[in-house]
């Protein structure tokens, strides 16, 4: 009798804690301050899977099938926390904020107060600042799973005054992979107790041939944007919104990234590092199709859908040959970022869509990276018939 009771309770405990569909949780190391960092694996039955860690609510791996069903990790990153804490980490896969991208001279005025932020990208503030920026915090994780999806919800509190920003900010970032599609959705939400700027993105570096491949210059890109925000030499928007027509920034048709990069490389941006103004989303649609990226070799195709009004296309110009996962070298332009967001320095540009979150309101934003195999146009037309 006793034995049965023991066995039975054991089974109950086992099944409630580790059901087959639960995201796998592993230790990923400790921060330099000794805080343990956990990593979770989420995926679907096709082998499409991601690993996400609690430091910076960071997307660490993304395994995507190619035309032959072969999986490759398409994200730059490191094998452990100390890699992410090293100076080789240029925001790989992290949640960037409180305000991603640049704020001119690290200053803004809100409700009559002037706020001063760290200047960590001379002469500007970049990606939320230094040690208390969201990418450096260890977030709380709540994994979840059902027959429809697997995911992890990360949450953290950024106290009033951290990195110079006003208000206590409660933030959450939820990664979800549906059971029936090769896609990963990132949903952001935030609340504050004082008016404060919020602009969140993920800084994933993609190489659709697999991380460690030489360059992304042969990747083909289409951006659903007729306009962009021109900048000064420090990459701060002038406030104008201009057409891409007739410029090297025109990606309205699928274009090889390397085709015009040398001429754009001679500008202050030293490559693509531009905010595109996305064309308005179709009426009733939740998200806009922002970008389509194709690797002609593997035929992996990624579509970026978002609720955000802008996307920063950054062609990995500052990658410098640092050693990443498995000791692979991450050379100049061996990956690119497609960072969905509000326009840079919006807090100093009342003419741009506002990034100010007020007490009582909820910040919500969603981006989905969807993967499939690129098909020749003729095959697509054939299918439609
Ligand atoms: C963003 C910026 C770039 C660069 C990278 C990180 O994409 O726009 O200029 O700072 O982040 O290296």
What separation in Å is there between the alpha carbon of 150 and the centre of ligand 1? 30
Mean predicted confidence (pLDDT) in 350-379:
94
Q: Which two tokens stand for residue 84?
A: 């992410």
11 confidence band (pLDDT: 50, 70, 90): very low
What's residue 382's pLDDT?
A: 60
What separation in Å is there between the alpha carbon of 113 and the centre of ligand 1? 28
Exposed e or buried b per residue across 4-33, where buried means at least 16 C-beta atoms within 10 angstroms of its C-beta:
eeeeeeeeeeeeeeeeeeebeeeebbebee
Per the CB < 8 A criterion, the answer to whether 371 and 300 are in contact is yes
**Token pair 């040398």 in the structure block, residue:** 262
Q: Is the pLDDT of residue 211 over 90?
A: yes
d(CA 194, CA 158): 12
d(CA 215, CA 136): 28
Q: Are strands 201-202 and 95-96 parallel, antiparallel or unpaired?
A: antiparallel
What separation in Å is there between the alpha carbon of 230 and the centre of ligand 1? 16
Q: Is the pLDDT of residue 65 over 60?
A: yes
Q: How many residues does the chain have?
A: 385
Mean predicted confidence (pLDDT) in 92-120:
98
361 confidence band (pLDDT: 50, 70, 90): very high
Three-state DSSP state, 344: coil
Q: Is 90 in the pocket of ligand 1 (CB under 6 A)?
A: yes
Establish whether the linkage from the previous residue to 253 is cis, with ω within 30° of 0: no
Per the CB < 8 A criterion, the answer to whether 63 and 49 are in contact is yes
14 confidence band (pLDDT: 50, 70, 90): very low
d(CA 233, CA 14): 59
Torsion of CA 146, 149, 152, 153, to 10 degrees: -90
- 339 is annotated as an active-site residue: yes
Establish whether the linkage from the previous residue to 98 is cis, with ω within 30° of 0: yes
Mean predicted confidence (pLDDT) in 16-44:
86
Q: Is the pLDDT of residue 4 over 70?
A: no
Mean predicted confidence (pLDDT) in 73-95:
98
Query: pLDDT above 70 covers what percent of the chain?
Result: 92
What separation in Å is there between the alpha carbon of 121 and the centre of ligand 1? 9
d(CA 102, CA 104): 6
Mean predicted confidence (pLDDT) in 327-350:
98
What separation in Å is there between the alpha carbon of 314 and the centre of ligand 1? 7
Alpha helices (H) along 179-328: 261-264
Among 127, 211, 339, 342, the one annotated catalytic: 339
What's residue 22's pLDDT?
A: 81
What are 297-325's pLDDT values in tens digits? 999 999 999 999 999 999 999 999 999 99
Q: Is 338 in the pocket of ligand 1 (CB under 6 A)?
A: no
What's residue 90's pLDDT?
A: 98
To test the ligand 1 pocket, which listed residue (127, 272, 330) has its Cβ within 8 A of the most ligand atoms? 127
Q: Is 126 in the pocket of ligand 1 (CB under 6 A)?
A: yes
Mean predicted confidence (pLDDT) in 51-67:
98
Query: For 135, which DSSP code?
Result: G
To test the ligand 1 pocket, which listed residue (267, 318, 341) has its Cβ within 8 A of the most ligand atoms? 318
Per the CB < 8 A criterion, the answer to whether 142 and 174 are in contact is no
376 confidence band (pLDDT: 50, 70, 90): confident
What's residue 385's pLDDT?
A: 52
> What's the mean pLDDT when you consider all of the chain?
94
Q: Are strands 201-202 and 24-30 parallel, antiparallel or unpaired?
A: unpaired
Which region, left, alpha or beta, applies to residue 29 given φ > 0 means left and ψ of -120 to 50 means alpha?
left
Q: Is the pLDDT of residue 7 over 60?
A: no
Q: Is the pLDDT of residue 276 over 90?
A: yes
Q: Is the pLDDT of residue 13 over 50?
A: no
Exposed e or buried b per residue across 48-61, where buried means at least 16 C-beta atoms within 10 angstroms of its C-beta:
bbbbbbbbbbbbbb
Three-state DSSP state, 51: strand
Three-state DSSP state, 143: strand
Q: Is the pLDDT of residue 380 over 70?
A: no
d(CA 368, CA 176): 9
Mean predicted confidence (pLDDT) in 248-267:
96
Q: What is the position in ligand 1's atom list of the atom closest to the CA of 121?
A: 10
Q: Is the pLDDT of residue 10 over 70?
A: no
What separation in Å is there between the alpha carbon of 224 and the centre of ligand 1? 21
Residue nearest to atom 6 of ligand 1 (CA): 90
Q: Is 273 in the pocket of ligand 1 (CB under 6 A)?
A: yes
Which region, left, alpha or beta, applies to residue 83 given φ > 0 means left and ψ of -120 to 50 means alpha?
alpha
Q: Which two tokens stand for residue 3?
A: 């034995």
Q: Is 336 in the pocket of ligand 1 (CB under 6 A)?
A: no
What's residue 21's pLDDT?
A: 64
| φ/ψ of residue 99, rounded to 5 | -125, 115
What's residue 2's pLDDT?
A: 45
Q: What is the position in ligand 1's atom list of the atom closest to the CA of 337?
A: 7
To test the ligand 1 pocket, which listed residue (88, 337, 339) has its Cβ within 8 A of the most ligand atoms? 337
Mean predicted confidence (pLDDT) in 144-149:
96
Q: Is the pLDDT of residue 234 over 70?
A: yes
**Token pair 């069903």 in the structure block, residue:** 69
Query: pLDDT above 90 covers what percent of the chain?
Result: 90
Q: CA nearest 342: which of 374, 307, 317?
A: 307
Domains with residue ranges and CATH for the chain: 2-384 (2.70.98.10)
- 85 is annotated as an active-site residue: no
């Amino acid at each position: 009798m006793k034995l049965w009771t023991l066995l039975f309770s054991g089974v109950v405990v086992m099944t409630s804690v580790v059901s087959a569909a639960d995201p796998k949780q592993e230790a990923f190391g400790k921060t330099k301050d000794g805080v343990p960092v956990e990593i979770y694996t989420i995926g679907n039955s096709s082998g499409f899977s991601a690993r996400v860690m609690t430091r910076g609510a960071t997307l660490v791996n993304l395994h995507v099938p190619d035309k032959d069903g072969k999986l490759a990790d398409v994200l730059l990153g490191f094998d452990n926390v100390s890699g992410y804490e090293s100076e080789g980490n240029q925001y790989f896969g992290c949640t960037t904020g409180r305000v991603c991208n640049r704020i001119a001279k690290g200053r803004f005025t809100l409700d009559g107060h002037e706020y001063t932020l760290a200047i960590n990208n001379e002469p500007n503030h970049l990606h939320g600042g230094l040690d208390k920026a969201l990418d450096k915090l260890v977030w709380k994780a709540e994994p979840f799973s059902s027959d429809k999806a697997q995911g992890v919800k990360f949450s953290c509190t950024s106290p009033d005054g951290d990195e110079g920003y006003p208000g206590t900010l409660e933030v959450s970032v939820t990664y979800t992979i549906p059971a029936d599609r090769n896609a990963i959705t990132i949903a952001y939400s935030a609340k504050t107790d004082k008016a404060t700027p919020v602009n969140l993105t993920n800084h994933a570096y993609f190489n659709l041939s697999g991380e460690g491949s030489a360059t992304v210059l042969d990747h083909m890109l289409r951006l659903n944007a007729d306009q962009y925000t021109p900048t000064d030499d420090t990459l701060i928007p002038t406030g104008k919104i201009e057409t891409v027509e007739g410029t090297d920034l025109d990606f309205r048709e699928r274009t090889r990234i390397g085709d015009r990069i040398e001429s754009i490389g001679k500008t202050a941006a030293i490559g693509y590092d531009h905010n595109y103004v996305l064309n308005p989303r179709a009426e009733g649609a939740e998200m806009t199709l922002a970008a389509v990226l194709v690797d002609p070799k593997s035929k992996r195709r990624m579509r970026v859908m978002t609720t955000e009004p802008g996307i920063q296309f950054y062609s990995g110009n500052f990658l410098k040959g640092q050693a990443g996962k498995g000791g692979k070298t991450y050379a100049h332009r061996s990956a690119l970022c497609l960072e969905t967001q509000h326009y840079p320095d919006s807090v100093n540009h009342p003419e741009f869509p506002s990034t100010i979150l007020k007490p009582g309101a909820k910040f919500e934003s969603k981006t989905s990276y969807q993967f499939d195999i690129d098909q020749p146009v003729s095959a697509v037309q054939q299918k439609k018939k």
